Amino acid sequence: MNRRSFLLSTGLAAGVSAAPQNAPVRPEPVESATPTDRPAIVLSQIGFLPKCRKTVIYRLAPGGIVPENFTLRDVGGPPQPFSLSRPLAKAPGDVPNCLIGDFSDLEREGFYQITTGRERCAPFFVRPDAWRRTLPKAVSYHHAQRCGIAVPNIHPACHLDDARRRDTGEHVDVTGGWHDAGDLRKWMDATMMAGFGLLRLARHLGDRWDLGGSGIGVLLDEMRWGNRYFLKMQDKDGRVWADTAGGVNGDNSDNHWTDNQAGTADDRYINPAKPAMVQAMFIALQAMVSQAFAESDPGYSQSCLAAGVRCWEATEHPRQTRDLSWRLLAAVELYRARPDSHFAQEAAKLGDALAAFQISSFIASQRKVRGFWAAGDARQTPFCDPVYSALPAIAMLELAIALPSHPAVPRWRDAVRLYLDEYVIPMSARSAYGVMPLGLFLGSPTQETYRPLEGELTYRYFMPTRQRSWWLGVTSHLESHAALLATAAKALRKPEYRELAFRQMEWVMGNNPFGASLMTGEGWRNSYPYSRFAGPLIGGIVNGVAGNAQDVPILQMEYGTDWRTGEYWTPHNAFYLWALSQLES
Ligand SMILES: [Zn+2]
């Protein structure tokens, strides 16, 4: 995973030892760049469903012309030429110098291009499977990340000697699983996300997930492959270890190919730490695996459930919002796997604990937003996380869906509504692109730009760059909100949420100030990915657009050496599958 490697590559982390001599280090990330004037016209390069909101953004160059209209043509060569013109209007909000055009009324299927004067955009489809057809590519990324086996055209069999314990030196067979990103390490949290993505896809769409008809077996086989590793990472006490090959001192020393011979000097290490979030994710995942295999392989289903329950019994309820959210999801999935169990009561109890961290009144001398979560400490610091930002509301909504007749359901639903209606919707409305800022802050915690909201509350679209020694792009933040909004549109019967979900996904697929698709093999203007061992992988999604100290968007569009914006990372593919399968279900 990116951040921990960054600690070494910069030497900024307190207490980080120097890397052993000859240890592989990551290159210093080069600076990502702010947007140039081109392309002038940006929009979803995947295209649009016939019945959904469709917008195009025209980015004004300083001193350039200000067009009043745009023209859209079917460039697919229909027998009768087809075109239409629509007005462009100044977009309100935080994105300066841009116009927005709306052509939502166009439901005619076709292959289109928009022009304004001499400018043109990437061609795009309007068709019912515009998004759906990307699913097999996003799934294939996970297959390409397999470790412990040859992946044809990617790499020969690798890491058959994983690994030895850091503390005792004992060799434990933890071969298998997936590499997690643009490198070769196997963090449990990041790679278990692959499981959540695959199983959400299987749950939402079943055999229909691939229009090519490959069937649900492909997803289950991939899940079983990854899970072999996750199960091996469970210690005798029921809890699971944090990672294999993460790096001995937060460094990159394990980030290398090996000779595949156990007991030699290049063997990699198991990190025997047992963080609370990893335990909760493991439990939730095993409960989902158990449900997915209940019919096709009851024995395997039962053994995975037993592994999850053992971990549940060996661990306690965490006290921080992020970890508590995962623990709640774990209880919900255990209940779904065993409906006759006490996990319904456990889930309800956890739901109330998580609700206690929601800020439901107006704080910090402002009346603009409420309903966001606090981080879980004594002070009311707003919860902010580049990967799991939507998780508290997702867990709360899953609880309400799983226990529909529980007396507290109206309260849980109201908590989600408050988050969406009084926080997500007003904050997203501040961007012409319709995307959620990363989070709220109290004042200016670091010496860089925090956008004033009202009172003492501020916000940023992107991670602060001076708060920690690492920062990265916001792809998972946006996609996880898409997953939340898509689920809420159905559960709370509000189509507006579905529209907003698509805005978050469209940013990933090219509707951003760089006109850059963040998925390799889809759209255009992909930057060369940071993927030092496997090279470009079809369907891989990069960390994406980050911000500089001024909260101005940055993305590396050239040489592929900036992991902060350019690195593949499994959570992005996972939330993509989660959100899109929910939108398509
Ligand atoms: Zn490997």
| Three-state SS sequence of 365-381 | CCCCCCCCEECCCCCCC
In the sheet that holds 457-460, the strands lie side by side as: 439-442, 457-460, 451-454
Rounded CA separation 65/240 (Å): 59
> Is a pLDDT exceeding 70 seen at residue 260?
yes
> Is a pLDDT exceeding 80 seen at residue 15?
no
The pLDDT value recorded for residue 24 is 57
Point out the least confidently predicted range of 27-31, 173-177, 367-371.
27-31
The CA 54 to ligand 1 mean position distance, Å, reads 42
The CA 151 to ligand 1 mean position distance, Å, reads 10
The CA 532 to ligand 1 mean position distance, Å, reads 13
The CA 109 to ligand 1 mean position distance, Å, reads 44
Helices (H), 233-342: 276-292, 298-313, 321-337
Angle at the Cα of 508 (from 59 to 242), degrees rounded to 5? Answer: 145
The CA 147 to ligand 1 mean position distance, Å, reads 4
Kindly indicate the confidence band of residue 554, based on its pLDDT and cuts at 50, 70 and 90. Answer: very high
The CA 175 to ligand 1 mean position distance, Å, reads 8
Give the closest residue to 414 by CA, choosing from 492, 510, 331, 344: 492
How many alpha carbons lie under 13 Å from residue 298 in its C-beta half-sphere? 1
Report residue 392 as tokens.
């508290």
The CA 579 to ligand 1 mean position distance, Å, reads 28
Rounded CA separation 462/474 (Å): 7
Angle at the Cα of 124 (from 218 to 576), degrees rounded to 5? Answer: 35
Report residue 107 as tokens.
């439901």
The CA 444 to ligand 1 mean position distance, Å, reads 42
| Pair 268, 163: CB distance under 8 Å | yes
The CA 504 to ligand 1 mean position distance, Å, reads 32
The CA 458 to ligand 1 mean position distance, Å, reads 43
> Is a pLDDT exceeding 80 seen at residue 11?
no
Q: Using one digit for the tens of pLDDT, what is the confidence trace for 103-148?
A: 999 999 999 999 998 999 999 999 999 999 999 999 999 999 999 9
The CA 164 to ligand 1 mean position distance, Å, reads 15
The CA 171 to ligand 1 mean position distance, Å, reads 17
The CA 137 to ligand 1 mean position distance, Å, reads 21
The CA 115 to ligand 1 mean position distance, Å, reads 47
Rounded CA separation 357/372 (Å): 9
Give the closest residue to 130 by CA, choosing from 10, 217, 251, 48: 48
Phi-psi domain of 493 (left: phi exceeds 0; alpha: psi -120 through 50; beta: other): left
Q: Which residues have CB under 8 Å from 547's CB, separation 6+?
A: 460, 461, 462, 463, 465, 553, 554
The CA 174 to ligand 1 mean position distance, Å, reads 11
Neighbour count for residue 137 (Cβ, 10 Å): 19
Kindly indicate the confidence band of residue 184, based on its pLDDT and cuts at 50, 70 and 90. Answer: very high
The CA 239 to ligand 1 mean position distance, Å, reads 24
| Pair 504, 435: CB distance under 8 Å | yes
Percent of the chain residues past pLDDT 90, beyond the cut: 87
Q: Using one digit for the tens of pLDDT, what is the confidence trace for 41-66?
A: 999 999 999 999 999 999 999 888 99
Report residue 490 as tokens.
């159905």
Instruction: State pTM to two decimals.
Output: 0.95
> Is a pLDDT exceeding 80 seen at residue 19?
no
The CA 161 to ligand 1 mean position distance, Å, reads 10
The pLDDT value recorded for residue 469 is 84
CA-based end-to-end distance of the chain: 31
Q: Using one digit for the tens of pLDDT, what is the confidence trace for 421-450?
A: 999 999 999 999 999 999 999 999 999 999
User: What does the pLDDT average to over 351-356?
Assistant: 96
Point out the least confidently predicted range of 91-95, 478-482, 510-514.
91-95
User: What does the pLDDT average to over 36-41?
Assistant: 91
Give the closest residue to 508 by CA, choosing from 550, 484, 534, 479: 479
The pLDDT value recorded for residue 561 is 82
Give the closest residue to 269 by CA, choosing from 230, 307, 241, 240: 241
The CA 134 to ligand 1 mean position distance, Å, reads 26
The CA 370 to ligand 1 mean position distance, Å, reads 45
Kindly indicate the confidence band of residue 468, based on its pLDDT and cuts at 50, 70 and 90. Answer: confident
Class of residue 326 by CB neighbours under 10 A (exposed 0-12, middle 13-18, buried 19+): buried
Neighbour count for residue 3 (Cβ, 10 Å): 17
Does residue 392 have a cis bond before it (omega within 30 degrees)?
A: no
The CA 11 to ligand 1 mean position distance, Å, reads 26
Q: Using one digit for the tens of pLDDT, what is the confidence trace for 499-531?
A: 999 999 999 999 999 999 999 999 999 888 999
The CA 155 to ligand 1 mean position distance, Å, reads 9
Q: Which domains does the chain have, with CATH numbers?
A: 47-126 (2.60.40.10)
| Pair 537, 144: CB distance under 8 Å | yes
The CA 178 to ligand 1 mean position distance, Å, reads 7
Report residue 493 as tokens.
């019967």
Q: How far is CA 559 from the centre of its chain?
A: 24
Give the closest residue to 257 by CA, choosing from 397, 377, 150, 139: 150
Report residue 377 as tokens.
């400490």
Type of residue found at 190: A
Mean pLDDT of the chain: 93
The CA 519 to ligand 1 mean position distance, Å, reads 23
> Is a pLDDT exceeding 60 seen at residue 81?
yes
The CA 43 to ligand 1 mean position distance, Å, reads 37
The CA 269 to ligand 1 mean position distance, Å, reads 13
Angle at the Cα of 364 (from 359 to 365), degrees rounded to 5? Answer: 120
Kindly indicate the confidence band of residue 341, based on its pLDDT and cuts at 50, 70 and 90. Answer: confident
- SS3 at position 211: coil
The CA 148 to ligand 1 mean position distance, Å, reads 5
Rounded CA separation 169/160 (Å): 17
The CA 258 to ligand 1 mean position distance, Å, reads 8
Rounded CA separation 509/43 (Å): 8
DSSP 495-536: HHHHHHHHHHHHHHBT-STT--BSBTTSSS-PPPPB-TTT--
The CA 187 to ligand 1 mean position distance, Å, reads 12
Kindly indicate the confidence band of residue 464, based on its pLDDT and cuts at 50, 70 and 90. Answer: very high
Point out the least confidently predicted range of 83-87, 151-155, 202-206, 339-343.
339-343
Report residue 574 as tokens.
């996972």
The CA 184 to ligand 1 mean position distance, Å, reads 6
Rounded CA separation 452/442 (Å): 10
The CA 162 to ligand 1 mean position distance, Å, reads 9
The CA 339 to ligand 1 mean position distance, Å, reads 38
Report residue 270 as tokens.
């198991």
Rounded CA separation 66/364 (Å): 40
The CA 268 to ligand 1 mean position distance, Å, reads 11
The CA 242 to ligand 1 mean position distance, Å, reads 17
Q: Using one digit for the tens of pLDDT, what is the confidence trace for 299-308?
A: 999 999 999 9
According to DSSP, the residues that pair with 170 across neighbouring strands are none
The CA 545 to ligand 1 mean position distance, Å, reads 28
Give the closest residue to 534 by CA, choosing from 153, 162, 2: 153
The CA 102 to ligand 1 mean position distance, Å, reads 47
The pLDDT value recorded for residue 340 is 86
Give the closest residue to 189 by CA, choosing from 458, 571, 584: 571
Give the closest residue to 388 by CA, choosing from 434, 325, 461: 325
